[in-house]
Structure 1
């Protein structure tokens, strides 16, 4: 058996559904070569658990009350955490996939992935190799080959898209600041840029334009 195959890979599981966390913990605990060190129910708690446990891989859900996955991935990247993040979610829309990868995720799998594929993906992530589910890889290739039709200078940045997605969900500036680990003043600055780029006068108009241009799925 090779050294890579023999090495035990440590994990932290992040998902807001207890049943999902229990299922993943049980699955990896029963499989040879894996060790689950901890779990968290949202992105904010995940940061503390990852800092304490220092796992090889973080299995990260994206949409979670109390702190989303993309913001947590970005913060882990900013902190220089050695843990690789493998996104495991039910969502494969551009508004979820692209920000997660831009934030620093090593891989992106959907929750319907077969067990063996998930095991292989976790090992690959631990080795620093990128893993994308076929559906996600196809979307990214399409996005790369078909650039957005926005005129130069009007495309939203990854963080501006994150803010707009949260605005579309009815999230307040204070809640957005907490979820993205930024100040309310920074949120307002991002919104000012979003309004200017979309030619919108307020939040509702920005959301409407976002859906019209396909920025919001």
Structure 2
């Protein structure tokens, strides 16, 4: 029986390549595509798939947030993360949030098929590399992270920024001016040693702050 897959990736060439790749398998088929987190969530609400193949870097919501929302409405639907982000940094947070596996986009074709079929069959997939790190304890947390230096309000702003919320909307939510939010953002960037909202999002995902 053909397994139906929803792919969520903002790069059309990636979606096309995977569609062509899986078309030759005979048992796996991409039957729906989404280019953003919002599109993915809309499809998940109204359709049913044997697997969601989800990228971490999306234009509106980060992949971890999309994963959490999918699991809230469809906890039984398997989600396999398919990302360029470092497995060592992001696989554990993704698995903790309910992903059935984590697959790097640089993986060879046979490993992609193994991961997809493993998850579709109801099991969890962990790459040999990550499994080795988990067994050796190298995936455990390191020294005290920079975000522990943030105030409670700075942490609130950080989490909202990581979800793609605008400065204006954050100001309305927290009942402060846009200028104040901008000041918070500058402090957060400095304390965390990052330079952009994309890096803030990556930091939040890496440290499982949300």
* Fold equivalence (TM over 0.5): yes
Counterpart of 1:113 in structure 2 is 107
- 1:133 equivalent to 2:133? Answer no
Decide whether aligned partners of structure 1 residues 168 and 132 sit closer, same or farther in structure 2, where only a CA change above 3 A counts. same
Counterpart of 2:138 in structure 1 is 142
Cα drift, residue 15 of structure 1: 0.4
- Cα deviations across residues 97-131 of structure 1 (Å, max 9, x unaligned)? 44433321111110011111111111111223221
Aligned residues: 185
What is the root-mean-square deviation in Å for CA atoms of aligned residues? 3.8
Matches for 1:67-82 after TM superposition, within 5 Å:
67-82=61-76
Separation (CA, whole Å) in 2 of partners of 1:59 and 1:129: 15
- 1:38 equivalent to 2:32? Answer yes
TM-score w.r.t. length of structure 2: 0.70
Decide whether aligned partners of structure 1 residues 66 and 202 sit closer, same or farther in structure 2, where only a CA change above 3 A counts. closer
Structure 2 unaligned spans of 5+? 176-182, 195-201
1:17 pairs, out of 11, 25, 46, with 11
- Cα deviations across residues 41-71 of structure 1 (Å, max 9, x unaligned)? 0111011222333111111001111233211
Cα drift, residue 96 of structure 1: 3.9
Separation (CA, whole Å) in 2 of partners of 1:173 and 1:99: 26
Separation (CA, whole Å) in 1 of partners of 2:85 and 2:156: 15
Contact 2:50 2:120 in 1 (8 A): yes
Contact 1:92 1:135 in 2 (8 A): no
Cα drift, residue 137 of structure 1: 4.7
Decide whether aligned partners of structure 1 residues 19 and 163 sit closer, same or farther in structure 2, where only a CA change above 3 A counts. farther
Structure 1 unaligned spans of 5+? 1-6, 178-183, 190-200
Decide whether aligned partners of structure 1 residues 95 and 164 sit closer, same or farther in structure 2, where only a CA change above 3 A counts. farther
Separation (CA, whole Å) in 2 of partners of 1:36 and 1:166: 32
**Partner SS, residue 51 of structure 1:** helix
Cα drift, residue 82 of structure 1: 2.5
